[in-house]
Chain A
Amino acid sequence: QKEVEQDPGPLSVPEGAIVSLNCTYSNSAFQYFMWYRQYSRKGPELLMYTYSSGNKEDGRFTAQVDKSSKYISLFIRDSQPSDSATYLCAMNQAGTALIFGKGTTLSVSS
Chain B
Amino acid sequence: DGGITQSPKYLFRKEGQNVTLSCEQNLNHDAMYWYRQDPGQGLRLIYYSQIVNDFQKGDIAEGYSVSREKKESFPLTVTSAQKNPTAFYLCASSIALSRGGTEAFFGQGTRLTVV
Q: Are A97 and B42 in contact (CB under 8 A)?
A: no
In the bound complex, how far is the Cα of B103 from the Cα of A37, in angstroms? 13
Interface size class of B (residues with CB under 8 A): 20 to 34
CB-CB under 8 A from A51, the residues of chain B are 101
Q: Are A49 and B90 in contact (CB under 8 A)?
A: no
User: Which residue from B45, B90, B102 sits with its C-beta under 8 Å from A43?
Assistant: B90
User: Which residue from B6, B97, B106, B107 sits with its C-beta under 8 Å from A97?
Assistant: B97
- Per the CB 8 Å criterion, the residue count for chain A at the interface is 30
Q: Does A17 touch B at the CB level, under 8 Å?
A: no
Q: Which A residues form the contact surface with B (CB < 8 A)?
A: 6, 8, 30-32, 34, 36, 41-46, 49, 51, 88, 90-103
A-B contact pairs, 17 of them (CB 8 A): A8-B40, A32-B102, A41-B111, A42-B109, A43-B4, A46-B103, A88-B42, A90-B104, A93-B101, A94-B98, A94-B101, A95-B98, A97-B31, A97-B48, A101-B42, A102-B41, A102-B42
Q: Which B residues form the contact surface with A (CB < 8 A)?
A: 4, 6, 31, 33, 35, 40-45, 48, 58, 88, 90, 97-98, 100-109, 111
